[in-house]
Amino acid sequence: MRKEIVIFLIIMLVLTPFGLISEYPAWGEWGIEEFRGLVGYIPAGMQNAGIQAPIPDYEFGGMNSIFSTLISAMIGIVASFGFFLALKHIKTKQR
Amino acid sequence: MHIPDGFISPSTSITALALAAPLWWYGMKKAKELLDSHEDAVTFLSSMAAFSFLIMMINIPIPGGTSGHAIGMAVLAILLGPWAAFIAISAVLFFQAVLFGDGGILALGANSLAMGFVGSFGSYYFYRLLHNRTSQSLALFVAGYGGMVLASVAIALILGIQPMLFMEDGKALYFPFGLDVTIPAVVGSHMLIFGVIEGFVTVAVVRFFEKIKRVASA
């Protein structure tokens, strides 16, 4: 079954750059400046909210967006495995 | 569907985190049980989380200048059980928020409750209700569709109550559109398009894994 899972993940990985076709964000997930255009002001609570992510929008500055997307996708795969491997490990330690 | 930080009030975020915390705790225990149940479980669980991460990157444009994506909630809920699915999706949302700025960090509770908890459990119970009563493909489709629509209802509610609760001098402090706007925009687009996509993804992926499982056990 492992071989099929690897093939499955590779197919999914190769499909991720197709997400770049969409130029628009999800409904509501606009940048704060866009709210000025929509309602005439930027809601006070939205300003300076959140942190600057290391890889904003899955894009590495200056890198081709298809490569950026693929590398981000690979980071996602590694993080997913890291999380559950860690969770499994914690259990064995407790016993 | 990822709520960014600043779009909902800190009190909303903290309430959601407080609601999510015990569910995360119990879900982690259930996920650990699954991890310990057999040797391949860690590979399978991790792969399913990775699948959810990857499919959320595939943004699909729709008319009206917005886009959306499948989540894989029903695939995970049916193949792993709803608790492990909730944990996997929450973990994915955490990495998306911390590494890629997709969805807020403080808003992680709200996003996890909507996409992870409501989505996974909604999908799971739609599937349980229909499994063996209709064709397998229909049961899978409805699980994906129904879970997605329920998750969108949760997001629309969380966003839409913001201007009802938090206004100052006639201006919204956080997300400025009420339920009259968020319900048709968020739930409507998920009923018409993204729920359908989630439904087809569920049929395709679960059928694929059913097939390879049969091959493996044959």
The CATH number of residue B205's host domain is 1.10.1760.20
Segment B30-44, tens digit of pLDDT? 999 999 998 889 999
Cβ distance A9 to B47 less than 8 Å, yes or no, reads yes
Identify residue B88 by its one-letter amino acid code: A
Domain membership flag for residue B2: no
Question: How many domains is chain B built from?
Answer: 1
Domain membership flag for residue B29: yes
Q: What ipTM, to 2 d.p.?
A: 0.93
Domain membership flag for residue B4: no
How crowded is residue B134: how many other Cβ atoms within 10 Å of its Cβ? Answer: 13
Cβ distance A55 to B54 less than 8 Å, yes or no, reads no
Which candidate from A29, A75, A76 shows the least CB-CB separation from B2? A29
Segment A5-52, tens digit of pLDDT? 999 999 999 999 999 998 888 999 998 889 999 999 999 999 988 888
Segment B66-119, tens digit of pLDDT? 999 999 999 999 999 999 999 999 999 999 999 999 999 999 999 999 999 999
Give the three-class secondary structure for B132: coil
Domain membership flag for residue B5: no
Name residues 49-88 of chain A within 8 A of B (Cβ): 49-58, 69, 72-73, 75-77, 79-81, 83-85, 87-88
- What domain range includes position A56? 2-94
**pLDDT value of position B107:** 97
Which candidate from B6, B68, B182 shows the least CB-CB separation from A46? B6
Domain membership flag for residue B41: yes
Question: How many domains is chain A built from?
Answer: 1
DSSP code at position A62: T
- What domain range includes position B24? 10-217
Residue B8: alpha-carbon gap to chain centroid: 18
Q: Is the Cβ of B44 closer than 8 Å to some Cβ of chain A?
A: yes
